[in-house]
Structure 1
Amino acid sequence: MDPTDPILQLARPSILRNPYSAYARLRENTPVFRHELLDSWVFTRHADCLAVLTDSARFASDWRRAGEDIPAPLLSVQTLDPPEHTAVRRLLLDGFRAQDRRALHERMDFEARDLLAVLARRPSFDFVGELAEPLALRFITAFLGVPVPDLAWFVPMSRTIVDGMDAGLWPQKHEPAVAARAELAAYAGGWLADPPKDGLLAYVAEHAADSGVDPAVLRNSLRAVLHAGYESASRLLGNAAAALLTTPGALAAFRGAPVATAVDELIRYDAPVQADARVCVADTDLGGVTVRAGEAVTLFLGAANHDPLRFAHPTELRLDRAPNPHLGFGRGAHACLGASLAIRLAGSLFTALAGDHPEARAVAEPAHRRNLTLRGLDRFEVTLRGRAAATTAGEEEST
């Protein structure tokens, strides 16, 4: 592979830590370009990405509309278009609305503070593996109403699925990801055979027969809710923690900003979802080029979220930024179902962190996973102790 390829360069460790300068160069020099390896048009500006996301008539998520053969485990609420998409999304949305979200939020407030209190006893800890991932998994399974799976089983499988999202660049990641999706869908299918009494699953199981949704699509969609909810939330928490704990004054500023506004800015600043793809189904003029039917388009949402034509001073973390029309949760028919829940979870955690542990700080640089579609941390060592307390504790341990 060409080491000078502008997309492959994004996976270099030095750029992976902060890809936004590289995005800016692309956006300024070649805001729309053809990428040979992906066999796709690539868009980097906010206006172009928004236009594609909100036009499902001409840009499809369901690649069968362009004649592609899609494996059955990949057919879900994430990959179908209306009218098939409409029925399963309506079922899930109705289930979302039927839940006692206040009780869930109160539970997550408690869980966040409890985890932080336990970890505060330690000199330092891995924010990703010991806080963001377990909290996100507790959150999404509590909402679904199902038991929390074993992290040692779930996390590697989830990461395999995420790795497969970059299979256009690294084809060897495709088959393991398809197998992992099928395994997770089978696991989710077991819920429908013996549904819980409460939560989203209980509602879906009760109303599935009257929904008109294919059972296989429903199983895949429940898998997608579990996986996307976990990955979006855990990566959001990790990325946001890195921003708050490596930007001088940011954690203190969080305390003074409206919580939802601050979380929105953390999402814009370093969103988990950095890229998305569609296939054109009708010739369309966009961004100064003509995209033909059957051609793929790749949307660099991370670049769009830092577009100076849409955001003033986009490289700055401004926790009071409003309005904030970022594309971190998508737009249009495929906008994230659980965006409000993820924002609330992040608000719970960082309100507790900023209020109860204002001296929290990074112990080491955050290490990122080698993913380009979903951006997230592999490890981030932090401490909740101030420097003076950490020094005192170290002296006590040495004596």
Structure 2
Amino acid sequence: MSDMSYDPWSPEFVGNPYPAFERLREEQPVFFHEPTEQWVISRYEDVDALLRDRRLGRSYLHVASHEEFGREPDAEFLRPFWDLVRAGMLDVEPPTHTRLRRLVSKAFTARMVEGLRPTIRRLAGELADGFAARGGGDLLAEIAEPLPVNVIAEMLGVPAEDRPLLRPWSADICGMYELNPPEETQRTAVRAAVEFSDYLRELSRSRRDAPRDDLISALARVADEGDRLTEDELIGTCVLLLNAGHEATVNATGNGWWSLFRNPAELERLRADPALLPTAVEELLRHDTPAPMFERWVLEDITVAGCAIPRGAEVALLFASANRDPAVFPDPNRLDLSRDPNPHITFGLGIHYCLGAPLARIELAESYSALMRAAPEMRLAAEPKWKPGFVLRGLEALYVEC
């Protein structure tokens, strides 16, 4: 089989990658994709195992230099971007990852996240009521984007007047996570990283001097056995929380509503029985995964489904394909809002499991709930178009009428 059915730059593929995933799972569950120089892994069993396998990592820099790993060193102009990203926990490995996650978890607690629920409910309700009163519009721009930005900003303690800065910075930085980004995208990401870092450095210093009841203040004073976050680590963590908790949640909201509009019987079922919401959120996250692919570096030779993959290689783990694997999910292409069990891997697995998963679940549940309450007859106004990116897969807009 040609691997041409897997084409992450093709608008047709991005719009509906699931037939290609089906062919890959059946015929080529592990293959080398020349254009991205990645080993592509599509079956649930393999993706699940590799996410927990310590012979793979988000980075290799804790065991080898770029040159030793057969890779080009980072371009000098990208240094501010990588300094920022590698100061957070996403792109580092133990022992640094263990230390950062332990410290951040002491501030970003389940209790703190659950304590945000009334704020999230109020924000979601205000957005949904205004949206319904206007008769609808672009659900992405008017509901999906402002809710997580405002929640994260509220949580971090970013003043209201500065919040419009956050979304553009986040979007520009996340451009670097697409496959082989062009130089213009890379330079835009660097500029955003510098501006965002400078802003947060100033804000975090003011909170060290005059702490408030917010996450930046909590991160600034968090300590464990005498260990603390450095200023760079604090800033890298704040940027990660915004980007990870924001881009994916926006896409999850848009992709979820688009799935509901394409499955009107399930939408009516949810409207008739709001108690379905918890399992509905899980099923919508599985059915059209907002972050369909995550990459890992191979730190020691491995064998996957009979294929030898050497040290130094990069693997592309297809979360969205694993989430439609019939070996795990009966009738996987069907949207079933009461699906249970539903062991989807949308939030990852292993040591890099998404720290913000509880927050994302609350945001999605409150957002869906508020819209169904405020706009019970909401319907699609225009067929949406997909953004070109595959790694963070979402709609350009979602126009609806209330």
What TM-score comes out, normalization by structure 2 length?
Answer: 0.88
1:24 maps to which of 15, 22, 25:
22
Q: Measure the CA separation in 2 of the matches of 1:28 and 1:289.
A: 15
Residue equivalent to 1:278: 296
SS of structure 2 residue aligned to 1:297: strand
Structure 1 residue 100: Cα displacement: 3.6
Shift of the 310–169 alpha-carbon distance from structure 1 to 2, 3 Å rule, reads farther
Residue equivalent to 2:159: 147
SS of structure 2 residue aligned to 1:371: coil
Residue equivalent to 1:232: 248
1:78-227 equivalent positions in 2, closer than 5 A: 78-97=90-109, 100-148=112-160, 153-168=165-180, 170=182, 173-195=185-207, 196-207=211-222, 210-227=226-243
Residue equivalent to 1:390: none
1:305-316 equivalent positions in 2, closer than 5 A: 305-316=323-334
Deviations 1:77-104 (A, max 9, x none): 1011111011111111111117543441
Q: Measure the CA separation in 2 of the matches of 1:157 and 1:369.
A: 18
CA contact (8 A) 1:133 1:234 kept: yes
Shift of the 277–66 alpha-carbon distance from structure 1 to 2, 3 Å rule, reads farther
Structure 1 residue 172: Cα displacement: 5.2
CA contact (8 A) 1:279 1:295 kept: yes
Deviations 1:258-295 (A, max 9, x none): 32211011100111111111111111111221111111
Residue equivalent to 1:60: 57
Structure 1 residue 349: Cα displacement: 1.3
CA contact (8 A) 2:149 2:167 kept: no
Structure 1 residue 45: Cα displacement: 0.8
1:377-392 equivalent positions in 2, closer than 5 A: 377-384=395-402
Q: Measure the CA separation in 2 of the matches of 1:190 and 1:249.
A: 51
1:251 is the counterpart of 2:267: yes
Shift of the 152–142 alpha-carbon distance from structure 1 to 2, 3 Å rule, reads closer
Residue equivalent to 1:298: 316
SS of structure 1 residue aligned to 2:91: coil
CA contact (8 A) 2:58 2:297 kept: yes
Q: Measure the CA separation in 2 of the matches of 1:312 and 1:170.
A: 40
CA contact (8 A) 2:89 2:97 kept: yes
1:73 is the counterpart of 2:84: yes
Shift of the 52–358 alpha-carbon distance from structure 1 to 2, 3 Å rule, reads same
SS of structure 2 residue aligned to 1:42: strand
Q: Measure the CA separation in 1 of the matches of 2:237 and 2:104.
A: 9
CA contact (8 A) 1:66 1:279 kept: no
Stretch moving more, 143-152 or 217-226: 143-152
Residue equivalent to 2:349: 331
Q: Measure the CA separation in 2 of the matches of 1:333 and 1:148.
A: 34
Q: Measure the CA separation in 1 of the matches of 2:197 and 2:262.
A: 38
Stretch moving more, 80-89 or 162-171: 162-171
CA contact (8 A) 1:126 1:380 kept: yes
Shift of the 208–44 alpha-carbon distance from structure 1 to 2, 3 Å rule, reads same
SS of structure 2 residue aligned to 1:141: helix
SS of structure 2 residue aligned to 1:120: helix
CA contact (8 A) 2:278 2:365 kept: yes
Stretch moving more, 104-113 or 215-224: 215-224
1:366 is the counterpart of 2:384: yes
Structure 2: runs of 5+ lacking an equivalent: 67-72, 75-81
Q: Measure the CA separation in 2 of the matches of 1:150 and 1:377.
A: 26
Structure 1 residue 138: Cα displacement: 0.8
State the number of aligned residues.
380
Structure 1 residue 121: Cα displacement: 1.8
Structure 1 residue 169: Cα displacement: 6.1
SS of structure 2 residue aligned to 1:379: coil
Shift of the 172–296 alpha-carbon distance from structure 1 to 2, 3 Å rule, reads farther
Shift of the 178–298 alpha-carbon distance from structure 1 to 2, 3 Å rule, reads farther
SS of structure 2 residue aligned to 1:249: helix
Stretch moving more, 87-96 or 147-156: 147-156
Structure 1 residue 379: Cα displacement: 0.6
CA contact (8 A) 2:47 2:319 kept: yes
Deviations 1:296-323 (A, max 9, x none): 1111111111111111111111111111
CA contact (8 A) 1:192 1:205 kept: yes
1:40 maps to which of 4, 23, 38:
38
CA contact (8 A) 2:106 2:222 kept: no
Shift of the 206–247 alpha-carbon distance from structure 1 to 2, 3 Å rule, reads same
CA contact (8 A) 2:55 2:299 kept: yes
Structure 1 residue 185: Cα displacement: 2.7
Residue equivalent to 2:77: none
Q: Measure the CA separation in 2 of the matches of 1:33 and 1:146.
A: 45
SS of structure 1 residue aligned to 2:264: coil
Structure 1: runs of 5+ lacking an equivalent: 385-399
Shift of the 171–22 alpha-carbon distance from structure 1 to 2, 3 Å rule, reads farther
Stretch moving more, 276-285 or 60-69: 60-69
Q: Measure the CA separation in 1 of the matches of 2:3 and 2:296.
A: 25
